[in-house]
Structure 1
Amino acid sequence: MSLSLGGPSREELEQFSLKAIVQAKIRDEVLHGIKVEEGDLWKVLVVDDTALHILSSCYRMSEVIQEGITVVEGINKSRKEIPDFHALYLCLPTEENVQRIVDDITPRPLYKAVHIFFLTPCPQPLLAKLARPRVVKHVKTLKEVNILFKPIEARVFTLDRPDGLYSCYSPHAPAFDIDGIAAQVLTLCETLKERPVVRCPRASSSSFVLILPIAAVCCGVLRCAAVCCTALDLAFGPGLEACAQLRFGAACFDLLDIKNGMYSFEFRDGAGRASRKQVRLDESDDLWVAFRHRHISEVFREVTEKFKAFSDEAKRTQGLPKGEASESTKALKDLLKALPQHREKTQMFSVHIDMSTKINKAFSSAVEECTRAEQNILCREEPDGTPVKDVINEISSVLIDRSLSIEDRLRCAMMCVLAKGGTSKRELDTLLDNANIPEPRRAAVTNLHQLGAVVTTDKKSKRTKPPKRKQRSGLYDMSRWTPMLKDVIEDLCDGTLPTSEYTAIRSPDSVVSKGRRKQHDDDDDDDDDNVQSSRGQWAQGKNTKRGQRKVTASKTGGAHTDRPRLIIVVLGSISYSEMRCVYEVADAAGWDIYIGSHGILSPSEFVEAIEQLDKPRAASEPAVVRPAQEDEEGSLTFVQGSSTAVASV
């Protein structure tokens, strides 16, 4: 039994999905990328923490087993000798990992043969270790797969650096790892098989520093149709990630206790037994895909309607009587008892009914007033079009409302300062005193200047004019504000983003411009006929209307289309609202657009991260990924899927 949920189907998502492309690359180049003798069916996958995190973002444990992998083990764990198995190593080419591989081979090999797949290029000294006679005879495969980013959604990736905001903007952060970030972005370009035109805000020194190593390599190595890679920092909209958004996905991560994409809730089976369940909110959940970018008021209504439709259809096929619409636990229990074969679908509905109910309870009248005030000052007008002249007066009633949490009042104060374009030190202190913000928490406001925002000013200072925004009409009074990133993406897709404001490394003529096609730059090699013939035509393929998808299968299983591509890299962090904007523009313009950053932060997480910018930390190595999860026995575990599956025994 199928149920129409609206939005893109799973097949449509997979045509441009980063997750599907990375999964296909790992499958074709690693899991199926070795030659073994007939009868050698058993394989062990040995991974480090970085590889495990990438692998678990696009594979479930059951899917890995289906690819012929018997067991997944950690490279830094003590492992038993299995002389009949081939071992596939997927890891970073570090001194520690290479030494562990050598130790697995000498003096007595743990495995029948070794196949090594490095996530990035391997330094020559480490290759020399693997070239030793006693080692090299056991190494049957040595390859670089070039994947050092984590696909989060179909159009979203992260560099998996959870302290990205601190490392980019704190004055106490160690030296900025610009080469490491550039290398990670380049692995994304290589995975997508693209050579982009690279652009960034001309006024932004940090993002300009980032694009230079990317452009240097992209212009000389990758040989594919042109795309555009735009590097931004938070200076184009500093601090506005703190604004509360009322789309279902953003509200879930802001208001509910969701850790690493895992949501915990209470579920009752057909016998009425209660149990605690953990589910991962990802694109394997059709309801999550359908609802995540919808307004919460629509989700509150439709999740009940869709459950009623599903329940009635399921009962009709079984010859059972229909019931009344209800979102109660009793309705779920009754359906499970009557139709146990629909347990999985019913559990999916119970997750979203539970989340929408908790969000509805959290959205009190005080929170509603706070959200309305934020929208008014950010849009600089009330819903009826009346201009907001006095920002502080607009938000004063919210700041003195003690029923609101400190976080909500602090966020409103941040929005007020940003909307005013800075205020006097005296006025700022009065504002925070009235809001009863404790002294240590006030750093969330004062630290905004680290992002390029003006926080304090005087009468003599010349105030900068707010950027001109596009006029947009919204259905909901409390969801009128749109992230500034959406304006930038739309201008770039329309060919109206000026190079005077956004520097282009390589001529931007290779990016489609509105109403015309352009040939590629003269700096492209003459021997690349395929690139020459396709450059400037991929936005509007032959006999293809603009926005119509034309898909061909790639060697790695990812989809190639004749649609233009745009890769957006934001230094520091991105918000769930900015992720939503990417999907909206991609669908409207007919582009394949991907966005990524060091990490993704909810409004509350963003405020907390801003508070820490002025605080020194103990020196430590910058982490590329969070450590892999471990169970009580220390076994590596996959973090993908509705339940945690042990990946080694």
Structure 2
Amino acid sequence: MKAIYFITPTKKSVDGLINDFVSKSSSKYKAAYVYFTDICPDSLFNKVKSSCSWAIRRCKEINVSFFPYESQVFTLDVPDAFFCCYSPTVEKANGKDAIMEAMAEQIVTLCATLDENPGVRYKSKPLDNASKLAGLVENKLEKYYKIDEKSQIKGKTHSQLLIIDRGFDPVSTVLHELTFQAMAYDLLPIENDTYKYKTDGPSGKEREAILEEEDELWVKIRHKHIADVLEEIPKLLKEVSSKRKATEGKLSLSNLAQLMKKMPHFRKQITKQVVHLHIAEDCMSKFKSSIEKLCKTEQDLALGTDAEGQKVKDSMRVLLPVLLNKNHDSYDKIRAILLYIFSTNGTTQENLDKLIQNVQIESDSDMIKNWKYLGVPVVVSSASQQRRQSRKDRSSEETFQLSRWTPVIKDVMEDAIENKLDSKEWAYCSQCPAAWNGSGAV
């Protein structure tokens, strides 16, 4: 019997492969087809070559050392990376270089899969993580495309790869986001992309729905605002029901259950729509109970202006009603305190201590203090507090009052496409092309 090995190019994986082919007489399999997830170091390749080359029918690097979470989202699936890159403890910091090397290799496999040889840029401050990773990626890209001569003659326009640090935009990570997917994952107990719900009726059964790329409706609506989703799903359901006039009056989940019995050929289509209506209604139930008022405060703190465009003169006055409201749990109060700190580019130690004591979150205070390890100002002297970072004026753009904040990365990407990024703030790892144009890819 022959075997296919789909392995990462690590010492452990290579040793496992070699152990299966110690000798021709005692080998586990007749032959091996070996596929490495990314570039195999020469030392490991030579080890395989000298030990069991006789058994290998094929050995190839296929460049898939990343996890495509969505059609336009990927992760490197390196759970230790965050702790190694930001931990103040020496033991973890010692593993930082190895983690960085591995991540750079993985990013290069992504670029190779996309047939891209991008120019690499990075956010220069406040930490050096972005510059280190950018340098590694640039070097590995150069080596890869020297080996892969075919890729050098494709004549594609130069895309840009922007590498930013985790603390680049702390506000967007803390705000309650009201687009459908983000809201659902924030407010509902969704684990491993699985949503559990009960069907309507006296004998309501617990069901599970997996939120995945194969669900066309989910892909279509997941990044839309919850207000738009609550309009769109009922419209889709009414379109289906109108084909047989199976329901009358107000659309409800119980009516839809009856509809599925009457229209079995539409069952799958309706089931998907019902699931997402369940999710949307669950989100709105949480939202109306306590999150709605909280969102107004969060937006005012994040933007420094209220819904009417008036400047917030006293951030503490905006924050206090949230801290005094017994309907808000400690976690939401911590988020509000963080937004207050971000809005003032840090606060004094005395003020922070008072906030922590008054809200009685001493045991969770590290959730606030540890942002300093990401390069975000938390405790500063009064004299060193800086002004709020200037942003693009989006006041003319149509938006919802509780979703006025725009993630900073959108500003950056728009400037990158228009070739307006400050080269001091967004440094190049290699020589900058005369113009970044063509595909406009970032």
The two structures share one fold, judged by TM-score above 0.5: yes
1:265 paired to 2:197: yes
Q: Is the 8 A contact 1:114 1:140 kept in 2?
A: yes
Gaps of 5+ in 1: 1-82, 316-320, 514-538, 540-562, 567-649
Task: For residue 193 of structure 1, give the secondary structure of its aligned residue in structure 2.
Answer: coil
Q: Distance in 2 between matches of 1:511 and 1:253?
A: 40
Q: Residue 500 of structure 1: CA displacement?
A: 2.0
Distance 1:488 1:124, change over 3 A: closer
> What is residue 428 of structure 2 aligned with on the other side?
504
Q: Distance in 2 between matches of 1:101 and 1:466?
A: 56
> What is residue 170 of structure 1 aligned with on the other side?
87
Q: Is the 8 A contact 1:199 1:504 kept in 2?
A: yes
Q: Residue 275 of structure 1: CA displacement?
A: 4.3
Query: Could you tell me which amino acid in structure 2 is paired with residue 396 of structure 1?
Result: L
Q: Residue 323 of structure 1: CA displacement?
A: 1.4
Q: Is the 8 A contact 1:239 1:451 kept in 2?
A: no
Q: Distance in 1 between matches of 2:36 and 2:142?
A: 24
> What is residue 412 of structure 2 aligned with on the other side?
488
Q: Distance in 1 between matches of 2:227 and 2:58?
A: 54
Task: For residue 229 of structure 1, give the secondary structure of its aligned residue in structure 2.
Answer: strand
- From 220, 223, 229, the equivalent of 1:299 is 229
Q: Distance in 2 between matches of 1:111 and 1:219?
A: 38
Task: For residue 457 of structure 1, give the secondary structure of its aligned residue in structure 2.
Answer: coil
> What is residue 16 of structure 2 aligned with on the other side?
100
Residues 417-471 of structure 1, C-alpha deviation per residue, up to 9 Å, x if partnerless? 110122222222222333x232121111122221222222223x23222221011
Q: Residue 115 of structure 1: CA displacement?
A: 0.9
486-495 or 303-312, which moves further after superposition? 303-312
Q: Distance in 2 between matches of 1:236 and 1:100?
A: 41
Q: Distance in 1 between matches of 2:316 and 2:119?
A: 43
**Within 5 A, what are the aligned runs for 1:356-395?**
356-395=280-319
> What is residue 156 of structure 1 aligned with on the other side?
73
Aligned-pair Cα RMSD in Å: 2.3
**Within 5 A, what are the aligned runs for 1:321-400?**
321-324=245-248, 326-400=250-324
Distance 1:111 1:251, change over 3 A: same
Q: Is the 8 A contact 1:332 1:350 kept in 2?
A: yes
Distance 1:408 1:344, change over 3 A: same
Distance 1:356 1:195, change over 3 A: same
Q: Distance in 1 between matches of 2:391 and 2:427?
A: 20
1:467 paired to 2:389: yes
Q: Distance in 2 between matches of 1:510 and 1:311?
A: 57
Q: Residue 191 of structure 1: CA displacement?
A: 1.1
**Within 5 A, what are the aligned runs for 1:36-185?**
83=1, 86-105=2-21, 107-131=25-49, 135-172=52-89, 173-175=92-94, 176=96, 177-185=99-107
> What is residue 525 of structure 1 aligned with on the other side?
none
Q: Distance in 2 between matches of 1:360 and 1:482?
A: 22
- From 565, 574, 582, the equivalent of 2:441 is 565
Q: Distance in 1 between matches of 2:49 and 2:199?
A: 55
Q: Is the 8 A contact 1:227 1:511 kept in 2?
A: no
Query: Could you tell me which amino acid in structure 1 is paired with residue 9 of structure 2?
Result: P
Q: Is the 8 A contact 2:200 2:254 kept in 1?
A: no
Q: Residue 113 of structure 1: CA displacement?
A: 3.5
Task: For residue 100 of structure 1, give the secondary structure of its aligned residue in structure 2.
Answer: helix
Q: Distance in 1 between matches of 2:398 and 2:87?
A: 36
Task: For residue 367 of structure 1, give the secondary structure of its aligned residue in structure 2.
Answer: helix
> What is residue 165 of structure 2 aligned with on the other side?
233
> What is residue 403 of structure 1 aligned with on the other side?
327
Query: Could you tell me which amino acid in structure 1 is paired with residue 67 of structure 2?
Result: K
Q: Which has the higher contact order (CA 8 A, sep 6+)?
A: 1
Q: Distance in 2 between matches of 1:310 and 1:197?
A: 49
1:202 paired to 2:124: yes
Gaps of 5+ in 2: 146-151
Q: Residue 564 of structure 1: CA displacement?
A: 3.2
Query: Could you tell me which amino acid in structure 2 is paired with residue 504 of structure 1?
Result: Y
Distance 1:162 1:128, change over 3 A: closer
Q: Residue 250 of structure 1: CA displacement?
A: 0.7
Q: Residue 510 of structure 1: CA displacement?
A: 5.1
Query: Could you tell me which amino acid in structure 1 is paired with residue 16 of structure 2?
Result: R
Q: Is the 8 A contact 1:410 1:437 kept in 2?
A: no
Q: Distance in 1 between matches of 2:138 and 2:172?
A: 29
Q: Distance in 1 between matches of 2:80 and 2:292?
A: 31
Residues 247-271 of structure 1, C-alpha deviation per residue, up to 9 Å, x if partnerless? 11110110111122222233479xx
Q: Distance in 2 between matches of 1:98 and 1:274?
A: 52
Q: Which has the higher strand share?
A: 1
Q: Distance in 2 between matches of 1:99 and 1:209?
A: 30
Q: Residue 92 of structure 1: CA displacement?
A: 1.0
Query: Could you tell me which amino acid in structure 2 is paired with residue 419 of structure 1?
Result: S
Task: For residue 422 of structure 1, give the secondary structure of its aligned residue in structure 2.
Answer: coil
Q: Distance in 1 between matches of 2:114 and 2:354?
A: 52
Matched residue count: 423
Q: Distance in 2 between matches of 1:285 and 1:193?
A: 28
Query: Could you tell me which amino acid in structure 1 is paired with residue 36 of structure 2?
Result: F
Distance 1:95 1:462, change over 3 A: closer
Q: Distance in 2 between matches of 1:220 and 1:511?
A: 24
Residues 202-259 of structure 1, C-alpha deviation per residue, up to 9 Å, x if partnerless? 2342211111121123235422532111111034323541111111111011011112
Residues 17-68 of structure 1, C-alpha deviation per residue, up to 9 Å, x if partnerless? xxxxxxxxxxxxxxxxxxxxxxxxxxxxxxxxxxxxxxxxxxxxxxxxxxxx
Q: Residue 497 of structure 1: CA displacement?
A: 0.7
> What is residue 518 of structure 1 aligned with on the other side?
none
- From 437, 449, 455, the equivalent of 2:378 is 455
478-487 or 213-222, which moves further after superposition? 213-222
Q: Residue 154 of structure 1: CA displacement?
A: 1.3
- From 130, 134, 138, the equivalent of 1:211 is 134
Query: Could you tell me which amino acid in structure 1 is paired with residue 285 of structure 2?
Result: K
Q: Residue 273 of structure 1: CA displacement?
A: 7.0
Distance 1:388 1:156, change over 3 A: same
Residues 251-303 of structure 1, C-alpha deviation per residue, up to 9 Å, x if partnerless? 0110111122222233479xx97544333222221211221111112212221
Task: For residue 363 of structure 1, give the secondary structure of its aligned residue in structure 2.
Answer: helix
Q: Which has the higher helix share?
A: 2
173-182 or 144-153, which moves further after superposition? 173-182
> What is residue 182 of structure 2 aligned with on the other side?
250
Distance 1:200 1:96, change over 3 A: closer
